[in-house]
Amino acid sequence: MFLFVSTYALSSTVFPVAQRAGCPIVVLNIQPASRIDYASFNAIADRGVMTGEWLAHCQACAVPEIASVFKRGGIDYHLVTGYLQEEAMWARIGEWVQAAAVARVMRTNRLGVLGHYYDGMLDVYTDVTRQLATFGGSVDLIEMCEVRDIRDHVTDAQTRAKRAEFDRAFDVSPECDPTELDRAARTSVALDTLASRRGLGSLAYYYEGVRGNEYEDIATSVIAGNSLLTASGVPVAGECEIKNAQAMKIMDSFGAGGSFSEFYALDFDDDVVLLGHDGPAHFAISQGRVGLVPLPVYHGKPGKGLSIQMTVRHGPSRSFPSARDLRACTFSARRGNRCRAWCSTSETRTAATVFPSALGTLSKDGPRRGRLTTARSGRPHLGQDRKTICSPADSLHPGVLVLGSGPATAVATSVDVM
């Protein structure tokens, strides 16, 4: 809710409304002009009119009183300060409007959970109830047999149509076996049907089972279809990484793309951190076309099949932490955007404001050097001009990259999604 302070007002006139609203309040401390026109003001002969004109500029008088009462009353409030002709102030209001729209998406989002967690990867396990309590929405626990039943009824015509979609969407490697392309296409059709039938807005998945089981044919052919779903507004995270699916949905709702990523390696010579991951990726952050390539072995997963390969778009690139671990959702935003988002942890809700220049720039010549430093303790941090914008910072894992608005360096030159 926006509370525009147009003049002085007693806190008692707004406190009951804020209590009944039961939502965060954005207090607009906005003056009619950047300053009082002192000459014109002092020239007013009628002191009653002068008082009225004075009260028209009296926003800053009421705001501390309102803020004090809201804080003591447990009201979640935020301030926007400026004047009516100030573009930066209107931009901040626009950010709040955008954030409210994303919060609404999350309140109504239906997250599908297909299969089970990656066995032994304990940081992936999450409290789904807390996710719903924090973001809202609902969760569907989906069995692999449902996907198999849908897939068994996919027609040859649907498979051919999906193959044609692959050719339009991907740069299909000539090394891809036609049998593998057909297998991935049938699974992609099934995933589309599943998402539509269930009304899914996002999906987290993983399945392993006994080697050679009947579901392995599905689990090893999902990456192409899941990438298409991610591009169509249904972001998909592998390894049943629910927290990451939530982060990807937030970033996608901001129009910033978003792909599952984690720290990959440290380049001590060029002073950069490399990030990457396997599985589906978001077309919105790709530099050029996304490749569809064969993999004879899936790293850390059973079987073989097709995967995607891409280079992250040259320009600003950032990492959005989704929990107290090293997993994050990387994304590329349009220049000039600044997004406010929330990431859920197992114990707290962390707010982070993401700036376009947060982690620096990617270029065809590789990362620029000297801004992002990597301490020998393993804690990446921004060097010169660092400005922490994650709050509270101590809610993040020591290895998570702290976001900053200074002129940081690149994180990586490219990511091969295998």
pLDDT tens by residue, the chain, 418 residues: 999 999 988 999 999 999 999 899 999 999 999 998 889 988 999 999 999 888 888 899 999 999 999 999 999 999 999 999 999 999 999 999 999 999 999 999 999 999 998 888 888 888 999 999 989 999 999 999 999 999 999 999 999 999 999 999 999 999 999 999 999 999 999 999 999 999 999 999 999 878 878 888 899 899 999 999 999 999 999 889 999 899 899 989 988 888 877 788 899 999 888 877 767 888 988 888 999 999 876 766 666 789 888 888 887 766 666 554 334 444 433 333 333 333 322 222 222 323 222 333 333 444 333 332 222 223 333 333 322 222 222 222 222 222 222 232 222 222 222 2
Quote the CA–CA distance of 136 and 188 in Å, as a whole number.
28
Quote the CA–CA distance of 283 and 295 in Å, as a whole number.
20
Closest C-alpha among 60, 76, 66 to residue 24: 76
pLDDT at 258: 81
Closest C-alpha among 238, 247, 252, 142 to residue 197: 142
Quote the CA–CA distance of 333 and 315 in Å, as a whole number.
9
> Taking the domains of the chain in order of start, what are their residue ranges?
2-85, 108-395
pLDDT at 344: 29
CB 311 within 8 A of CB 286: yes
pLDDT at 196: 97
pLDDT at 322: 57
- Environment class of 120 (CB within 10 Å of its CB; exposed 0-12, middle 13-18, buried 19+): exposed
pLDDT at 179: 94
Q: SS in 3 state form for the chain?
A: CEEECCCCCCHHHCHHHHHHHCCCEEEEEEECCCCCCHHHHHCCCCHHHHHHHHHHCCHHHHHHHHHHHHHHCCCCEEEEEEECCCHHHHHHHHHHHHHHHHHHHHHHCEEEEEECCCCCCHHHCCCHHHHHHHHCCEEEEECHHHHHHHHHCCCHHHHHHHHHHHHHHEEECCCCCHHHHHHHHHHHHHHHHHHHHHCCCEEEEECCCCCCCCCHHHHCCCHHHHHHHHHCCCCEECCCCHHHHHHHHHHHHCCCCCEEEEEEEEECCCCEEEEECCCCCCHHHECCCEEEEEECCCCCCCCCEEEEEECECCEECEEEECCCCCEEEEECCCCCCCEEEEEECCCCEEEEEECCCCCCEECCCCCCCCCEEECCCCCEEECCCCCECEECHHHCCCCCCCCECCCCCCCCCCECCC
Cα separation values, 18 from 31, 61, 96, 167, 381, Å: 22, 19, 17, 54, 39
Quote the CA–CA distance of 236 and 66 in Å, as a whole number.
43
What type of residue sits at position 406? Answer: G
pLDDT at 189: 98
CB 139 within 8 A of CB 274: no
